[in-house]
Amino acid sequence: MSANLAPVASVSPITDESPTTDGFNLVIDALKLNGIKTIYGLPGIPITDLTRKAQAQGLRVISFRHEQNAGNAAAIAGFMTGQPGVCLTVSAPGFLNGLTALANATTNCFPMILISGSSEREIVDLQQGDYEEMDQVAVAKSLCKAAFRVLNAEDIGVGIARAIRAAVSGRPGGVYLDLPAKLFSQAMDAAAGTASLIKVVDPAPRQIPAPDAVQRALDLLKGAKKPLILLGKGAAYARADADIRALVERSGIPYLPMSMAKGLLPDTHELSAAAARSYVLPEADVVLLIGARLNWLLSHGKGKTWGGKDHKAWGGQKFIQIDISPTEMDSNVRIDAPLVGDIGSCVAALLGGIDAQWPKPPAEWLNAVFDRRNKNVAKMGETLAKDPKPMNFHSALNVVRDIIKANPDAMLVNEGANALDFTRSIVDMYKPRKRLDVGTWGVMGIGMGFAVAAAIESGEPVIAIEGDSAFGFSGMEVETICRYNLPVCVVIMNNNGVYRGTDQNLSGGSDVAPTVFVKDARYEKMMEAFGGVGVYATTPAELRKGIEEAIRSRKPTLINAIIDETAGTESGRITSLNPAAAAKK
């Protein structure tokens, strides 16, 4: 059949002369057709050739040492770009290793597609013990937005189109796509194959809010005496940066960024109430949530954090919530003005009602907020100016704070407990989507996967501030960082353990306590082992020199920053969630 004849899918006869294609090529073509440029994965049966052929055909294939890190890389690539990040794994065990990242992506509303090879349906369904046998679709289903399996080559286009739509439309999340081994070698007429592919049109359609919902929100906001705006990572994801900034500035309402919304407006913005968080949450009368859920990170919108009289009581605030998911409304407390739609459209609609006559919030409220903030900022300044020996979290992070200020385009990856909480409060961010962290679950192990994707997707230097425990979850990927020669500088806040290095074995036995690691571990040698730069830093000056040199040279670098092992607190800032501590409350 000549290539320019109108192809009839699947029924086209394959003759010796017909150019043919196969499952491998169709998967690659479908991804490329939809603008996917990078696959994060780990090769093996049955997808080894898929990685080779994908690379040969111009996709960038980033091979990891463990699928969880490849999955985390894909997930955060999705957050950074708004396009689904793609992770590719082998059957059963590889798939399971990737699944934690898929579940985490779904929890965090990051668009991601986990593509996994799988073994033969006939054998799996009869449970006859195939190589790496598992009903992967069944396992994945409860952990992602959607799960699909493609059995026939002519359905690859539809399978990938559905996966892309499911990942990025509505509330974004993780999608599983199951590709059994036999699919890859299925041959089909090349022209029919090409015609079967779908370039997805408008994968994340705008969702325009209803005008009466917009008016309700504006009315509530206008009547507020102590309004507050809360920006979540959904607001960062939505890429409505200019309109969100205009909404804050035109309304004159103080705002609080959630962790990954830091930098959506510069943290040094005059309307930032970040340093007055514990004052504004209980005091505010109307709170506008933009892409932030009232989950545990916001104490479920009630209790003492919000001025409630006990830990479950409503604090009296009225809430306006912008979210693309209608069922998010009233999840924890009453939402008085739900504004359902995409953040770009909702914020634009609100802006339409905020003109020059819009009443600025009462001066008493603004003065109270900014007095509190300025006092806290000054107090923090004093703490940061100290130079204790050994170095503590504050003196080390003061260095990182300066470096991000001087390099606002750099990406910041962050995980740990104290290493996370102190970084979040000390290191100001200046640009959107630069801070990538443990997200909704507070999961450890995102570090090196996020760092790899951050470098690849942005091209900017990456600084990963890691607790020594947190680093251990993905530390082997320093080899990946060296292999691709990525401009990643890992800084390990080394306090010899989980939270602290000082716990004692309560039995008096010879094992160390469960939270304690080898003392004075030389993590920097891990980077040197693969040809990167290792730095052992015991002072802020050594740390500064190490990070500055890493940014300048763009060489893979690991700085072992020696932190006072008594400096941390149990569970960082969430001590209250520890059952033992909660029992004492």
Q: Which residues bind ligand ADP (CB under 6 A)?
A: 108-109, 171-172, 232-234, 237-238, 258, 260-261, 291-293, 295, 297, 323-325, 328, 342-343, 440
The C-alpha atoms of residue 495 and residue 563 are separated, in whole angstroms, by 5
Q: Are 441 and 412 in contact (CB under 8 A)?
A: no
Pick out residues in 464-483 that bind ligand TPW (CB under 6 A).
467-470
- What's the min distance (Å) between Cβ of 167 and ligand ADP? 12
Handedness of CA 283, 288, 290, 294 (dihedral sign): positive
Among the residue ranges 143-151, 180-188, 367-375, 416-424, the one whose residues contact ligand TPW (CB under 6 A) = 416-424
564 binds Mg ion (CB under 5 A): no
In the bound state with ligand TPW, the residue whose beta carbon lies nearer, of 72 and 136, is 72
Cβ of residue 262: shortest distance to ligand TPW, in angstroms? Answer: 19
**Stretch near ligand TPW under the rule CB under 6 A, chosen from 257-265, 350-358, 463-471, 476-484:** 463-471
Closest to 105 (Cα-Cα) out of 578, 436, 570: 436
Contact map string, positions 291 to 330, toward ligand TPW, x by CB under 6 A: ----------------------------------------
In contact, 53 and 225? CB cutoff 8 Å: no
- Is the CB of 220 or the CB of 292 nearer to ligand ADP? 292
Residue 417 interacting with ligand TPW (CB under 6 A): yes
Which stretch, 55-63, 114-122, 311-319, 438-446, contacts ligand TPW (CB under 6 A)?
Answer: 438-446
Q: How far is the CB of 213 from ligand TPW (least distance, A)?
A: 37
Q: From CA 504, how far away is CA 485, in angstroms rounded?
A: 41
Least Å distance between CB 229 and ligand ADP? 13
Lateral strand order in the sheet of 286-290:
255-257, 227-231, 286-290, 318-323, 337-340
Residue nearest to ligand ADP as judged by C-beta position: 234
- Nearest Cα neighbor of 170 from 199, 202, 138 is 202
Of residues 491-550, those binding ligand TPW (CB under 6 A):
493, 495, 498-499
- H/E stretch holding 365 reads helix 363-385
Torsion angle (degrees, nearest 10) of CA 320, 326, 329, 331: -150
Q: Pattern 443-472, binding to Mg ion, x per CB under 5 A?
A: ------------------------xx----
Q: Binding to ligand TPW by residue 418, rule CB under 6 A?
A: yes
Q: Which is nearer to ligand ADP, 171 or 311 (CB)?
A: 171
| Residue carrying structure tokens 């993905």 | 474
Q: Which residue number, 186 or 331, has a Cβ lying nearer to ligand ADP?
A: 331
H or E, element range at 412? strand 411-415
CB 321 within 8 A of CB 328: yes
Q: Which of 445, 532, 534, 540 binds ligand TPW (CB under 6 A)?
A: 445
The residue among 341 and 572 lying less far from ligand TPW, judged by its C-beta, is 572
Return the DSSP state at 342. -
| ω into 203 cis (within 30 of 0) | no
Q: Choose among ligand ADP, Mg ion, ligand TPW, none what residue 323 binds, the Cβ cut-off being 5 to 8 Å by kind.
A: ligand ADP
DSSP letters spanning 236-294: HHTT-HHHHHHHHHHHT--EEE-GGGTTSS-TT-TTB-GGGHHHHHHH-SEEEEES---
Binding mask of the shown chain, residues 483 to 502, with x at each position contacting Mg ion by CB under 5 A: ------------x-------
- Write down the least CB distance from residue 165 to ligand ADP, Å: 14
Residue 82: half-sphere exposure toward Cβ, Cα within 13 Å: 14
Whether residue 111 has a cis bond before it, omega within 30° of 0: no
- Nearest residue (CB) to ligand TPW, 365 versus 450: 450
Binding site for Mg ion (CB under 5 A): 467-468, 495
Binding site for ligand TPW (CB under 6 A): 416-419, 442-445, 467-470, 493, 495, 498-499, 568, 572
